[in-house]
Amino acid sequence: MGKEDTDAHSFVEHQSKRLMSLAMYHKLKSIVDSWRNEEHGKARVAAGALYGLVVWFAVLAASAFVLPVSLGLVLLIGFLAWISLVVWLIRKNLRGSR
Protein backbone atom coordinates (compact mmCIF):
# COMPACT_ATOMS: atom_id res chain seq x y z
CA MET A 1 0.00 0.00 0.00
CA GLY A 2 1.59 3.24 -1.13
CA LYS A 3 1.39 6.75 0.22
CA GLU A 4 -1.13 7.70 -2.48
CA ASP A 5 -3.43 4.86 -1.39
CA THR A 6 -3.20 5.94 2.24
CA ASP A 7 -3.91 9.56 1.32
CA ALA A 8 -6.86 8.54 -0.85
CA HIS A 9 -8.20 6.29 1.88
CA SER A 10 -7.97 9.03 4.53
CA PHE A 11 -9.53 11.53 2.11
CA VAL A 12 -12.48 9.22 1.42
CA GLU A 13 -12.87 8.50 5.13
CA HIS A 14 -12.83 12.22 5.95
CA GLN A 15 -15.38 13.03 3.24
CA SER A 16 -17.58 10.15 4.36
CA LYS A 17 -17.60 11.47 7.92
CA ARG A 18 -18.47 14.95 6.63
CA LEU A 19 -21.37 13.58 4.57
CA MET A 20 -22.70 11.58 7.52
CA SER A 21 -22.42 14.63 9.74
CA LEU A 22 -24.26 16.76 7.19
CA ALA A 23 -27.01 14.16 6.80
CA MET A 24 -27.42 13.91 10.57
CA TYR A 25 -27.57 17.70 10.87
CA HIS A 26 -30.32 17.96 8.24
CA LYS A 27 -32.32 15.15 9.83
CA LEU A 28 -32.15 16.75 13.28
CA LYS A 29 -32.96 20.16 11.81
CA SER A 30 -36.07 18.77 10.12
CA ILE A 31 -37.18 17.18 13.40
CA VAL A 32 -36.73 20.46 15.29
CA ASP A 33 -38.54 22.38 12.54
CA SER A 34 -41.48 19.96 12.70
CA TRP A 35 -41.67 20.41 16.48
CA ARG A 36 -41.60 24.19 16.04
CA ASN A 37 -44.36 24.03 13.43
CA GLU A 38 -46.46 21.85 15.72
CA GLU A 39 -46.04 24.27 18.64
CA HIS A 40 -47.03 27.22 16.44
CA GLY A 41 -50.05 25.26 15.22
CA LYS A 42 -51.11 24.48 18.79
CA ALA A 43 -50.81 28.16 19.70
CA ARG A 44 -52.96 29.16 16.70
CA VAL A 45 -55.59 26.57 17.65
CA ALA A 46 -55.67 27.77 21.27
CA ALA A 47 -55.91 31.43 20.26
CA GLY A 48 -58.65 30.74 17.71
CA ALA A 49 -60.62 28.66 20.21
CA LEU A 50 -60.34 31.41 22.82
CA TYR A 51 -61.47 34.08 20.33
CA GLY A 52 -64.37 31.88 19.29
CA LEU A 53 -65.35 31.39 22.92
CA VAL A 54 -65.31 35.15 23.51
CA VAL A 55 -67.50 35.72 20.45
CA TRP A 56 -69.88 32.98 21.56
CA PHE A 57 -70.23 34.54 25.03
CA ALA A 58 -70.77 37.99 23.47
CA VAL A 59 -73.54 36.64 21.23
CA LEU A 60 -75.01 34.79 24.21
CA ALA A 61 -75.02 37.96 26.33
CA ALA A 62 -76.53 40.01 23.50
CA SER A 63 -79.26 37.42 22.92
CA ALA A 64 -80.05 37.39 26.65
CA PHE A 65 -80.96 41.07 26.42
CA VAL A 66 -82.60 41.04 22.98
CA LEU A 67 -84.38 37.68 22.88
CA PRO A 68 -84.31 35.96 26.28
CA VAL A 69 -86.86 33.33 25.23
CA SER A 70 -84.50 31.66 22.76
CA LEU A 71 -81.46 31.70 25.06
CA GLY A 72 -81.33 27.90 25.24
CA LEU A 73 -81.38 27.60 21.46
CA VAL A 74 -78.62 30.20 21.09
CA LEU A 75 -76.63 28.36 23.75
CA LEU A 76 -76.92 25.03 21.92
CA ILE A 77 -76.23 26.43 18.44
CA GLY A 78 -73.33 28.51 19.73
CA PHE A 79 -71.78 25.51 21.47
CA LEU A 80 -72.04 23.38 18.35
CA ALA A 81 -70.60 26.19 16.24
CA TRP A 82 -67.71 26.63 18.68
CA ILE A 83 -66.94 22.89 18.66
CA SER A 84 -67.04 22.95 14.85
CA LEU A 85 -64.64 25.92 14.85
CA VAL A 86 -62.19 24.11 17.14
CA VAL A 87 -62.29 20.95 15.01
CA TRP A 88 -61.73 23.02 11.86
CA LEU A 89 -58.80 24.86 13.49
CA ILE A 90 -57.22 21.57 14.55
CA ARG A 91 -57.54 20.13 11.05
CA LYS A 92 -56.19 23.29 9.46
CA ASN A 93 -53.26 23.97 11.77
CA LEU A 94 -52.21 20.52 13.00
CA ARG A 95 -52.48 18.53 9.83
CA GLY A 96 -49.63 16.08 9.49
CA SER A 97 -47.60 15.83 6.32
CA ARG A 98 -49.65 13.39 4.28
Write down the pLDDT at residue 98.
46
10-48 per-position pLDDT tens digit = 888 888 889 999 999 999 999 999 999 999 999 999 999
Evaluate whether 85 touches 52 at the Cβ level (below 8 Å): yes
Evaluate whether 49 touches 83 at the Cβ level (below 8 Å): no
Average pLDDT, the chain: 89
Percent of the chain with pLDDT strictly greater than 90: 64
* Structural domain count of the chain: 1
In a domain, 98, yes or no: no
